[in-house]
Chains A and B, each alone.
Chain A
Amino acid sequence: MVITNAKYAEATKEENETKSIYATIDGVASSVPMDTANRHYAEILKQVADGDITIAEAD
């Protein structure tokens, strides 16, 4: 799974909580929920831990 352009989404207004990550996954722009049961988020965490990608701060 090729992940590029990972960036945190801006926090939600009510909870002031960041809940997703924008990323391009295998060439497809996607929003990935920060839920470890989500396969894309699990892969993002793995690639971050391996030092392959970093996640940019929200705008």
Chain B
Amino acid sequence: MAKVKIQGHASGTGILTVTAPNTSTDRTITLPDSTDTLIGAATTDALTTRINATGGRKNIVNNGAFQIAQRGTSSTVSGYGSVDRWKSVNNVGVTHTQEAITSGDAYDAGFRHAFKLTNTATVDTAASHYVSCYQYIEAQDLATSGWDYTDASSYITISFWIKSSVAGTYYVNPMTEDGTQKVYPQSFSLSAATWTKVEKSYPGHADLTFNNDTGRGMALHISPFYGTDFTSGVSTSAWSTYASGDRFPDFAQRWGSAGTGATWEITGVQLELGSVATDFEHRSYGEELALCQRYFQYGSTSSTYCGFSNGSSQAYFTLHLTTPLRTTPTLTRSGSGTRNWTAVKHNGNNNSTADPSVVTYEAGAVDMACRQTGHSGLSDMYATNLYTGSYYIIIDAEL
């Protein structure tokens, strides 16, 4: 039989109390058989809190592992364009991509994709230059997350892997959107071209507001650079009120100032309840895709949408969705220039280049009434199908 030894810590005077269960049945606590401990010495959370934090759906961020890129794997658009839910808004040239990870610490942690920014123009000395990288988090997902966000003793924690070609001090900054907008940039240091795990905890604050609605609740920034038009002496250890010129402290280095080709890669982004970063919640591709489709979906080329003619020029049709959208979406089509959709009617067909539009979308619905104008010669109230040809529908309900 193993021995039981309880040895007091040399500097401690506290009393260790072991309470027997209030039952006649024996209970067993099995200790680790390696050098592991039941709870890490550096943490202060109760063991039950940590166990709860590691189980179930916990990551409030969508596409934190960047598996999903419905729009494409590379874009030079300032805004959404490559990986889902994340945007890079810039006023200097930047290409953003879904980058494959093939080795290194982030790979070993289970990540196969990153969001990568590469500047294609030099970030010069202009105070107005910025290169951003962030995700808008829906307000109701924060309001109902369990974070008692007006209580300074209640925490959320942000963790992520990051690698930059430019060493320096950077900031992770959750900018709130509802009520009095607040910022709280916390700094971290990077060595050049080295994957680094960053973990930062944020307490609640009496002035924080997250509406229980479908609007923007927070812009979670992990951005490489903002010029001095947007920076000041804003605190890195407390929530401050947002102003355009008070978003970040001054950046000590200008990412991208040495020329083109500076890189910024992030992956494994997790925002969770509690004051401790727990293991990343790896989701399947299908789960993550379904979460992203609340904000963006697209159809197929050569699809046919069923509907009817309304007057002689309008073809009404139904778009079926994979999941309800956040809100009534903007509709666009793939391709550019003159793009015909064909109304196939009982006695022939007719083309229109007009952009299709939403007639009605009811919140929570999985289909949507749409129309395309610009036809001619349709017969009122006849069954009419719309053939998409080479130009598929794009449905955008992003924040």
Contacts and interface: CB of A to CB of B under 8 A. Distances in A.
Nearest to B363: A37
Which bracket fits the contact residues of A? 20 to 34
Interface residues of B, number: 31
Contacts of A38: 327-330, 397
A6 interface: no
B136 to A, nearest CB: 9
A14 B373 CA distance: 14
A1 B396 CA distance: 15
A37 B183 CA distance: 23
Closest 7 CB pairs of A and B: A31-B357, A37-B327, A33-B328, A35-B328, A20-B357, A31-B355, A30-B332
A49 interface: no
B359 A12 contact: yes
A39 interface: yes
B299 interface: no
B221 interface: no
6 contacts: A30-B331, A31-B355, A33-B357, A37-B327, A38-B327, A38-B397
Interface string A22-41: 10011011111101011111
Given A30-B330, A31-B330, A39 B399 contact: yes
A26 B77 contact: yes
A30 B359 CA distance: 14
A39 B398 contact: yes
A28 B331 CA distance: 10
Contact of B214 (A10, A26, A37): A37
Nearest to B361: A33
